[in-house]
Amino acid sequence: MSRNVNDIIKNLSPAQRKKVEARAAHLIAEEMTLQELRRARKLSQVRVAKELGIGQEGVSKIEKRADLMISTLRKTVEAMGGSLCLVAEFPDSEPVILSGIAEVSPDDRPTGRKRAHHAGA
């Protein structure tokens, strides 16, 4: 009779099971798409959309995009309950955490109106 991973996990002690789950979570967290991250957080597109103030189809579009504005990525991660941290890595030095990028300031908040462009202004 063949055994699958669930059968093996059922036979582990609670401590062993916890260790396996922690390692699996660590491996999963190393690289994820936004969709995988949302699913790992057990969130629906509808719930994330509600947090973002957009429709579910908007979340679907965000998850499918290969190139996002950092502010969109930050808002999406925050809607999932997290925070975004950008790290620059170089082969000859330790990683550097970048700050002040895509942070919300009063001037960055949408007003619901597009600014008019005037010639010579």
Tens of pLDDT, residues 15-40: 998 888 888 777 766 788 999 999 98
Closest C-alpha among 37, 16, 38 to residue 28: 37
Closest C-alpha among 52, 53, 28 to residue 41: 28
- pTM value is 0.60
β-strands 86-90, 93-98 pairing: antiparallel
* Confidence bin at 11 (pLDDT 50/70/90): confident
Q: In this predicted model, what pLDDT tens digit does every residue of 75-113 receive, in sequence order?
A: 999 999 999 999 999 999 999 999 887 665 544 444 443
The length of the chain, given as a count of residues: 121
Taking the CA atoms of 20, 23, 25 and 31 in sequence, report the sign of the dihedral they define. negative
Query: Beta-carbon neighbour count of residue 21 at 10 Å?
Result: 12
Walk me through the domains of the chain, giving residue ranges and CATH numbers: 12-107 (1.10.260)
Q: What are the backbone dihedrals phi and psi of residue 68, each rounded to the nearest 5 degrees, phi first?
A: -115, 150
Structural tokens at position 28: 């999963």
